A and B are shown apart, each in its own frame.
Chain A
Amino acid sequence: GQQVMQIPQYQHVQEGEDFTTYCNSSTTLSNIQWYKQRPGGHPVFLIQLVKSGEVKKQKRLTFQFGEAKKNSSLHITATQTTDVGTYFCAGNYGNKLVFGAGTILRVKS
């Protein structure tokens, strides 16, 4: 079945450092979505990328969708303690969303 691989599984950064998480699919995606789950919370939708090569920004967060629509990344510039949580990508294969395993981000202040 469809799978979305997400790396790294875990990252611990110093406050102010950058952070990146990557997602890869073996097959072409209709779109890719990103979610954030705070500790003890539920996933919250951040953004959706649809077009090949698309780049979107939300303040310090930059989202990219690969040219082949098989991979994506989320980059956070100058992390803050409020960025802690698990970041999930989710690949849309037409009528089904498949989630990556998530990247847990911890930020040391």
Chain B
Amino acid sequence: DVKVTQSSRYLVKRTGEKVFLECVQDMDHENMFWYRQDPGLGLRLIYFSYDVKMKEKGDIPEGYSVSREKKERFSLILESASTNQTSMYLCASSLGLGDGYTFGSGTRLTVV
């Protein structure tokens, strides 16, 4: 089974801090994604990547950046954390763009 591992299950950070969320997948998937999940809003796409060093903005990229230096790793960066970025962050990967996604267990980030 494909495994998507997110480095932290829970994080608490202070406003203004730079925050790194790490995601690693072990099945050589081309595509990786970062979503945030908020009650009543479903899953919203922040960024995605379909190849090493490639990135595309999703629907809500403001305040975030990403890095994909290796195929298996996709990092989400909050340049200067704000309280409205308190959320559940989910990483996902897929073999092809039309294929089903495998999600990680999520990182619940609280910004205080």
Contacts and interface: CB of A to CB of B under 8 A. Distances in A.
Contacts of A45: 100-102
B42 A88 contact: yes
Contact of B41 (A31, A48, A101): A101
B13 to A, nearest CB: 21
Interface residues of B, number: 23
B90 A30 contact: no
Interface stretch (B62-70, B75-83, B103-111): B103-111
A99 interface: yes
A31 B98 contact: yes
26 contacts: A1-B59, A33-B101, A42-B90, A42-B103, A42-B105, A43-B43, A43-B90, A43-B101, A43-B103, A44-B103, A45-B100, A45-B101, A48-B100, A90-B101, A92-B97, A92-B98, A94-B97, A95-B50, A95-B97, A96-B45, A96-B58, A98-B45, A99-B35, A99-B42, A99-B44, A101-B41
Interface of B: 33, 35, 40-45, 48, 50, 58-59, 90, 97-106
Interface of A: 1, 6, 9, 30-31, 33, 35, 41-45, 48, 88, 90, 92, 94-102
